[in-house]
Amino acid sequence: MSELGTISFGLFIILAAVGGAAVLTWFERRLLGIWQDRYGPNRLGPFGILQVAADMLKLLTKDDWVPPFADRMVFIFAPTAIVVAMLLGFAVVPFGPDLYVLDINIGLLFFLGMTSLAVYSVLLAGLASNNKYALLGGLRSAAQMVSYEVFMGLSLMGVVMLTGSFSMRAIVEAQRDMWYCIPQILGLFTFMIAGIAESHRLPFDLPEAEHELTAGFHTEYSGMKFAMFMLGEYLGLILICCMITTLFFGGWLGPWLPPVVWFCLKVFALICFFVLLRAAIPRPRYDQLMSLGWKFMLPLTLLNLLLTGAIALALRG
């Protein structure tokens, strides 16, 4: 692609991702509603889709308020960080054989780096708010992220081993014969868990945990700055689903339909699954989450790594 093409496609992806996240806020509520024997937002526009516009208007017109006791600079910076980091993560996602912003040979590492940056957002928001609930939320997120970052990266190494590359396109191409969700089933499982933890959604929404910490790290946030956190969370969800699709479900690969349609369908199915997960599972306590991470998920990831390495070696040898 030409430079101009890349830039305009990049802009398009940004718009599409933000738009997707906005629609997702409505879609999730409708889906949860259906699963919970109720309607969800169904008043504005067809199927209530204009709810998105109404929410946006409401959030945009709210008073842009920074509490006087907060650390002003950091308080404003925190919600921006999560959105920027998540949007940058989309750069390496291959939506089709030729539909991507960036194809770098360390694509996977870039993605991991960007999602890790998003942690700072939560942490800084918790610290800058100067609120006890926010502090506890920030504290929890630090602990949670440290333990889940560790095996998030490791859980993908099996995929890298099988492909022999960090490039996203190469990973997709390598799945022509068999999607990695079969040989890397353990990797898929661990990455999925880490992914939910990364986007801190129920059951891993401990930094927020509205039943315990009112709203956790974003207790003091309102208006557009609050919306940024929500946007970041939904962007994170889409990004994680894009990644799972790319790494484990053959990305754009699929018969008959155009590649990009396959990609979108897979991502959509995964999003529905994540929403269902949110509807079904209670929230563990955070020490339980820690021990799950360190005592179960990490060994499982290492085991997967060992097995994959041994088999790959045996096949090649």
Partner 1 sequence: MLCAQVTSVNGTVDDLFVRFGADLFDLQSTADHTPTLWVDRGNLLEVLTHLKPRFPMLLDLFGIDERLRQHKPAAAADFTVVYHLFNLADREEIRIKVAVSDADSNVPTAVGVWANANWYERETWDMFGVQFSGHPNLRRILLPPTWEGHALRKEHPARATEMEPFSLSEEQQEQEQEALLFKPEEWGMARATEDTEFMFLNLGPNHPSVHGVFRIVLQLDGEVVVDAVPDIGYHHRGAEKMGERQTWHSYIPYTDRIDYLGGVMNNLAYVMTVEQMAGIVVPDRAKVIRIMLAELFRISSHLVFYGTFAQDVGQMSPVFYMFADRERLFGIIEAITGGRMHPAWFRIGGVAQDLPRGWERMVREFIDAMPARLDHYQIMAMDNSILKRRTVDIGSYTTAEALEWGITGASLRATGMDFDLRRDRPYGGYDQFEFEVPLGHKGDSYDRAVVRVEEIRQSLRIVRQCLDNMPEGAYKSDHHLTTPPPKERTLQDIETLIHHFLNVSWGPVIPPGEGSFPIEATKGINNYHLVSDGGTTSYRTRIRTPSFPALQQLPLISRGFMIPDLIAIIASIDFVMADVDR
d(CA 134, CA 116): 20
d(CA 307, CA 125): 40
| Interface residue with partner 1, options 282, 314, 316, 317 (CB under 8 A) | 282
Cis peptide bond prior to 299, omega within 30° of 0 = no
List the one residue out of 171, 161, 33, 59 whose CA is nearest residue 41: 33
d(CA 193, CA 200): 10
| Interface residue with partner 1, options 10, 67, 223, 284 (CB under 8 A) | 284
Closer residue to partner 1, CB minimum distance, 98 or 210: 210
Report the C-alpha dihedral over residues 103, 106, 109, 114, rounded to 10 degrees: -40
68 part of the interface to partner 1, by CB under 8 A: no
Choices 13-21, 89-97, 110-118, 197-205; region in contact with partner 1 by CB under 8 A: 197-205
User: Which uninterrupted H or E stretch holds 82?
Assistant: helix 72-89
DSSP-assigned letters across all residues of 201-263: -TTS-TTT-HHHHTTGGGTT--HHHHHHHHHHHHHHHHHHHHHHHHHHS-TT--SSS-HHHHH
- Token pair 């309102």: residue: 222
Interaction pattern, residues 238-277, with partner 1; x per rule: CB under 8 A: ----------------------------------------
287 part of the interface to partner 1, by CB under 8 A: yes
212 part of the interface to partner 1, by CB under 8 A: yes
Choices 43-51, 166-174, 212-220, 236-244; region in contact with partner 1 by CB under 8 A: 212-220
Copy the structure tokens of residue 162: 């099988």
Copy the structure tokens of residue 120: 């700072």
Footprint on residues 133-162 left by partner 1 (CB under 8 A): 133, 136, 139-140
Copy the structure tokens of residue 19: 């738009």
| Interface residue with partner 1, options 9, 35, 120, 189 (CB under 8 A) | 35
| Interface residue with partner 1, options 278, 293, 298, 300 (CB under 8 A) | 278
Choices 22-30, 118-126, 130-138, 181-189; region in contact with partner 1 by CB under 8 A: 130-138
Choices 11-19, 32-40, 159-167, 220-228; region in contact with partner 1 by CB under 8 A: 32-40
φ, ψ (nearest 5 deg) of residue 277:
-60, -40
Choices 13-21, 47-55, 154-162, 280-288; region in contact with partner 1 by CB under 8 A: 280-288
Task: Using CB under 8 A, list all residues that contact partner 1.
Answer: 32, 35-38, 132-133, 136, 139-140, 202-203, 205, 209-214, 278-288
